[in-house]
Amino acid sequence: MGSLAVRLWTVLLLLTTAASGQQTPEQSACVSHAGAILTAPPIHCHPLKACDGEAILKPYLALYQQCRINASERANLRDNFLFRLNHWHDDHPFLLETVAKAYEPFKAALESEQDAHRSLRLVPELQRKQLIYSIEAGRLEDAHILHMTLKGQWKPDQIVSAIQDGYHVNPTIMEHLLEFVRAIPVRKERAAYYKAIGPVIRNFKLTLTYVTLLFAGDATGVFDTRKDRDDYISQPLTVFVHMLRWQLANLEFEFHLSLAERFPRYYSLHIEQIFFFAPPHWQKAEKRRLFEIASLFKAKGHRFAAIEQLLKWAHQYAPTRGGKAHLEEILPTLALETEKLRRTVEQTGKSSAELVRLKKLEEKFVSKKDRWNTNTYRTYLHMIKTKGKFGQHRMEMERKG
């Protein structure tokens, strides 16, 4: 009973305080964010005035009961939250499947439109790649058809750059590329290709391969200015030719014979540069062995050119190497090579042009400048037939090989 009285006086004081502050009913309402108290008591008491206790107690008890109900509901919500969350989560696959089924009729049309736009960008790229792969594989007929189809869509430097970006550039691929460029009819376009190819040869360290010989032979006739020839051809060709000269001086003929057989026209273009002997190289070379390279060439043109060049250098260095005695030591071997060439010419049709060239070659064994040398081609040929290449005492050894 005492507890009830305390509660009543507490409520009475609260109401009195609210009334004395002239608060509105909305301000006097006991409102909680948790929802425990929803409405304020409808009775306002004034101090020192009698209040109806029952009228005050009844709403208070209703509020108290409502708080208990709200607390119970909140506890129930907390306890069932995980279950309801799982229930909502399980609804998602069903809803997603429903959306997917609704989207399905439109999917094909949308993808078809996307494929159409993608194809517009993809076809040129596929054509470019096919062009690159065809060049690298040596399928040059396919490459030229694609090149004409593209109608200049890809510039020479772009095509060469695409090949270079493959990081697998080798002499064979460069040979195919040069062969592809060689067949392009527009001179200006070929020049653009050669300007793009030059750095690739250098970057991939192909200067000492046969690629340099092909590149120099093709590009020399295409570049219009001396500057272009110097910038793109001179340096790699000089390095390559110096290597070939060193091989000749050291009697290494294999690479020369391979070049002459595989690329006879290109070897002929540079044979005078190749058969150039600076004094150290001429002095180092064993001339009688060096001269034997002439008969190792398969093409008669190479044999003619080699003998002519070797004969020129023999006469040029003779005064400083012993004069007549030096020539009598080395030129019999060259006379024998000339005789072998004569037999080949006679066995292969006796071309009048080749016979005339043979006659001029024989006459060159006598140098008009060196009056002290009266030996002729026939003299040197007789020497080797009677004394051998290395002296009469070694002729038997020479015959046995």
pLDDT tens per residue, range 368-399: 776 667 789 999 999 998 887 656 545 555 55
The tokens for 401 are: 């090989």
The tokens for 175 are: 């040979």
pLDDT level of residue 104 (50, 70, 90 thresholds): confident
pLDDT level of residue 17 (50, 70, 90 thresholds): very low
Q: Do 298 and 240 share a domain, yes or no? A: no
Q: Do 285 and 379 share a domain, yes or no? A: yes
pLDDT tens per residue, range 163-217: 998 778 999 999 999 999 999 999 999 999 999 999 999 999 999 999 999 999 9
Q: Do 280 and 388 share a domain, yes or no? A: yes
Which amino acid is residue 130, in one-letter code? Answer: Q
SS3 content of the chain, % helix, strand, coil (to 5): 75, 0, 25
Q: Do 219 and 336 share a domain, yes or no? A: no
Q: Do 230 and 316 share a domain, yes or no? A: no
The tokens for 158 are: 């772009």
The H helix count followed by the E strand count for the chain is 21, 0
233 lies in a domain? yes
305 lies in a domain? yes
The rounded distance, in Å, linking the Cα atoms of 195 and 224 is: 12
Largest Cα–Cα separation, the chain: 164
Q: CB-based burial of residue 306 (10 Å sphere; 0-12 exposed, 13-18 middle, 19+ buried)?
A: buried
What's 135's domain CATH number?
Answer: 1.25.40
Question: Which pLDDT score, from 0 to 100, does residue 30 have?
Answer: 40
361 lies in a domain? yes
pLDDT tens per residue, range 35-44: 444 555 555 6
For the packed helices 187-203 and 171-182, what is the interaxial angle rounded to 10 degrees?
A: 170
- Provide the number of structural domains found in the chain: 3
The rounded distance, in Å, linking the Cα atoms of 401 and 397 is: 6
Q: Do 233 and 290 share a domain, yes or no? A: no
Q: Do 280 and 401 share a domain, yes or no? A: yes
The rounded distance, in Å, linking the Cα atoms of 274 and 306 is: 10
**pLDDT of 100 strictly over 90:** no
- Between 160 and 23, where is the model more confident? 160
Distance of CA 83 to the CA centre of its chain: 61
Could you tell me the pTM of the whole model?
0.69
The tokens for 18 are: 């609210």
Q: Within a 10 A sphere around the Cβ of 183, how many other Cβ atoms?
A: 12
Contact (CB, 8 A) for 361 and 376: no
Question: Which pLDDT score, from 0 to 100, does residue 72 have?
Answer: 73
Q: Do 376 and 291 share a domain, yes or no? A: yes
376 lies in a domain? yes
150 lies in a domain? yes
Q: Do 19 and 135 share a domain, yes or no? A: no
Q: Which residue has the tokens 């009475």?
A: 12
CB burial readout 344-372, b (16+ within 10 A) else e: ebeeeeeeeebeebbeebbebbebeeeee
13 lies in a domain? yes
Phi, psi torsion values for 285, nearest 5 degrees: -70, 140
Tally of CA atoms within 13 A in the half-sphere of 39 that contains its CB? 7
Q: Do 309 and 397 share a domain, yes or no? A: yes
Q: Do 30 and 132 share a domain, yes or no? A: no
Output 386-391 pairs: Cβ under 8 A, ≥24 positions apart: 387/332, 389/288, 389/332, 389/333, 389/336, 390/288
- Between 65 and 223, where is the model more confident? 223
pLDDT level of residue 64 (50, 70, 90 thresholds): confident
- Between 85 and 245, where is the model more confident? 245
The tokens for 191 are: 């020049």
254 lies in a domain? no
Structural domain that includes position 183: 122-246
The rounded distance, in Å, linking the Cα atoms of 330 and 62 is: 137
**pLDDT of 316 strictly over 50:** yes
Question: Which pLDDT score, from 0 to 100, does residue 312 have?
Answer: 94
The rounded distance, in Å, linking the Cα atoms of 337 and 332 is: 9
The rounded distance, in Å, linking the Cα atoms of 200 and 391 is: 52
The rounded distance, in Å, linking the Cα atoms of 324 and 176 is: 50
**pLDDT of 114 strictly over 90:** no
Contact (CB, 8 A) for 268 and 305: yes
Q: Do 131 and 240 share a domain, yes or no? A: yes
The tokens for 293 are: 């390279």
The rounded distance, in Å, linking the Cα atoms of 183 and 391 is: 54
**pLDDT of 112 strictly over 60:** yes
**pLDDT of 281 strictly over 50:** yes
Which amino acid is residue 241, in one-letter code? Answer: V
Give 271-316 as a 3 state SS string.
HHHHCCCCHHHHHHCCHHHHCCHHHHCCCHHHHHHHHHHHHHHHHH
The rounded distance, in Å, linking the Cα atoms of 380 and 385 is: 9
143 lies in a domain? yes
